[in-house]
């Protein structure tokens, strides 16, 4: 069809849309509304560009291709600025409310009313780079100590970017999932608070806030369109982006919501393997993929089940 891309093998599993309330139960309309209301009030907020790739669409014979360019998001270079930063603010809101015995608002935290309380709350996370950078940025905004755990394959440039924002960066010898485990362990031992985009049994609020933040991006896209797209392509990663966008699309477009295609590298194709078994399935990484941010082998059970119920197909891209 085209010589634009190198030849690659794609495995593929199609899933039929199933009825149910997962798109409203796991992530509610109120979750998205609250995140959108707060994030769009942050200093420096502006919608990112939805770019038409007309030449590519013509070359491969489709009507239109639109690309959401997140490189300018809050100067952090990634859509992760919407998720990790917002989740951190929500952790601060919850913990300060508990400490003071009354509800505090996101607006008051943003305005610096509780700066002394924020300074007593250490936030930690594991990252491939962009989530940690978003967390470090948010901690700098509110004066909270920040510890970021990175694995062996994270570039020094990404580590430097987080350190430049004031984070303490801890590099381990293992992979991403090992850094998640260590971050959780040391947070438990020291009374710190994990702000992760990965969930596990008993830990779902920050990952849900991360996905709610991604809803800002989905809302921006949908507001620019006069009809639903036919297909939306998303990377797998730990699943937060795919789940958040899929839920946002379903809530916005209802029964006309587009077909969601989730793409993963062959060397870390957990969602693909999960789709074959019908259950959340882990894989072992024998070799690191070049797509470092997608080198994740574990899927949280509730999120995996959620994704498997959506109108998604799964394709590991076998060009590594």
Mean residue pLDDT of the chain comes to 86
pLDDT band, residue 289 (cuts 50/70/90): low
Higher pLDDT, 311 or 4: 4
Residue range 186-206: mean pLDDT, rounded: 92
Residue 307: how many CB atoms within 10 A of its CB?
25
pLDDT at 292 over 80: no
| pLDDT reported for residue 153 | 83
What is the rounded distance in angstroms from the CA atom of residue 87 to the CA atom of residue 93?
10
For the question of residue 128 being annotated catalytic, the response is yes
| pLDDT reported for residue 162 | 97
pLDDT in tens, 148-194: 999 988 899 999 999 999 999 999 998 877 898 999 999 999 999 99
pLDDT band, residue 268 (cuts 50/70/90): low
What is the rounded distance in angstroms from the CA atom of residue 264 to the CA atom of residue 231?
16
Q: Are 295 and 36 in contact (CB under 8 A)?
A: no
| pLDDT reported for residue 300 | 41
| pLDDT reported for residue 317 | 47
What is the rounded distance in angstroms from the CA atom of residue 109 to the CA atom of residue 42?
12
pLDDT at 55 over 70: yes
- Most confident range (mean pLDDT) of 125-134, 230-239, 297-306 is 125-134
What is the rounded distance in angstroms from the CA atom of residue 58 to the CA atom of residue 78?
28
| pLDDT reported for residue 295 | 54
What is the rounded distance in angstroms from the CA atom of residue 237 to the CA atom of residue 240?
8
CATH of 81-206 among 3.20.20.70, 3.40.50.970, 3.40.50.1100, 3.30.1330.10? 3.40.50.1100
- Most confident range (mean pLDDT) of 106-120, 123-137, 246-260 is 106-120
For the question of residue 305 being annotated catalytic, the response is no
Q: Are 264 and 314 in contact (CB under 8 A)?
A: yes
pLDDT in tens, 214-249: 999 999 999 999 999 999 998 877 778 888 999 999
pLDDT band, residue 308 (cuts 50/70/90): very low
pLDDT band, residue 262 (cuts 50/70/90): confident
Q: Parse the chain into domains and list their residue ranges.
A: 81-206
| pLDDT reported for residue 54 | 96
Of residues 128, 175, 197, 209, which has the active-site annotation? 128
Of residues 18, 33, 68, 80, which has the active-site annotation? 80
What is the rounded distance in angstroms from the CA atom of residue 44 to the CA atom of residue 238?
28
Residue range 251-266: mean pLDDT, rounded: 88
What angle, 0 to 180 degrees and rounded to 10, lies between the N-to-C axes of helices 156-164 and 130-142? 10
pLDDT band, residue 1 (cuts 50/70/90): low
pLDDT band, residue 311 (cuts 50/70/90): very low
The two tokens of residue 278 are 């019908």
Residues in the chain: 320
What is the percent of the chain where pLDDT is above 70? Answer: 82
Higher pLDDT, 261 or 314: 261
pLDDT band, residue 41 (cuts 50/70/90): very high
Higher pLDDT, 138 or 285: 138
| pLDDT reported for residue 237 | 72
């Amino acid at each position: 069809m085209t010589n634009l891309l190198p030849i690659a093998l794609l495995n593929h599993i199609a899933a039929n849309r199933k009825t149910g309330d997962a798109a409203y139960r796991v992530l509610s309309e109120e979750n998205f509304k609250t995140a959108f209301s707060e994030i769009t009030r942050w200093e420096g907020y502006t919608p990112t560009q939805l770019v038409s790739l007309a030449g590519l669409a013509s070359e491969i014979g489709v009507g239109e291709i639109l690309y959401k360019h997140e490189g300018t998001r809050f100067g952090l270079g990634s859509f992760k600025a919407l998720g990790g930063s917002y989740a951190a603010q929500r952790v601060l809101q919850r913990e300060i409310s508990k400490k003071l015995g009354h509800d505090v608002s996101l607006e008051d935290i943003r305005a610096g009313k509780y700066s002394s309380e924020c300074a007593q709350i250490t936030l930690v996370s594991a990252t491939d780079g962009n989530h940690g950078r978003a967390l470090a940025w948010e901690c700098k905004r509110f004066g909270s100590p920040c510890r970021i755990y990175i694995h062996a394959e994270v570039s020094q440039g990404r580590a430097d970017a987080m350190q430049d924002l004031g984070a303490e960066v801890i590099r381990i010898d293992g992979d991403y999932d090992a850094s998640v485990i260590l971050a959780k362990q040391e947070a438990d031992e020291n009374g710190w608070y994990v702000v992760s985009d990965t969930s596990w049994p008993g830990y779902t609020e920050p990952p849900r806030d991360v996905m709610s933040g991604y809803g800002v991006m989905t809302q921006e896209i949908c507001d620019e369109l006069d009809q639903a797209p036919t297909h939306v392509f998303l990377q797998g990663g730990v699943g937060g982006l795919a789940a958040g966008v899929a839920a946002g699309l379903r809530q916005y477009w209802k029964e006309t919501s587009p077909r969601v295609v989730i793409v993963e590298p062959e060397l870390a194709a957990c969602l693909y393997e999960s789709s074959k078994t019908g259950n959340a399935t882990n894989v072992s990484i024998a070799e690191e993929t070049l797509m470092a941010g997608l080198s994740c082998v574990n899927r949280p059970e509730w999120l995996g089940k959620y994704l498997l119920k959506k109108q998604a197909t799964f394709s590991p891209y076998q060009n590594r």
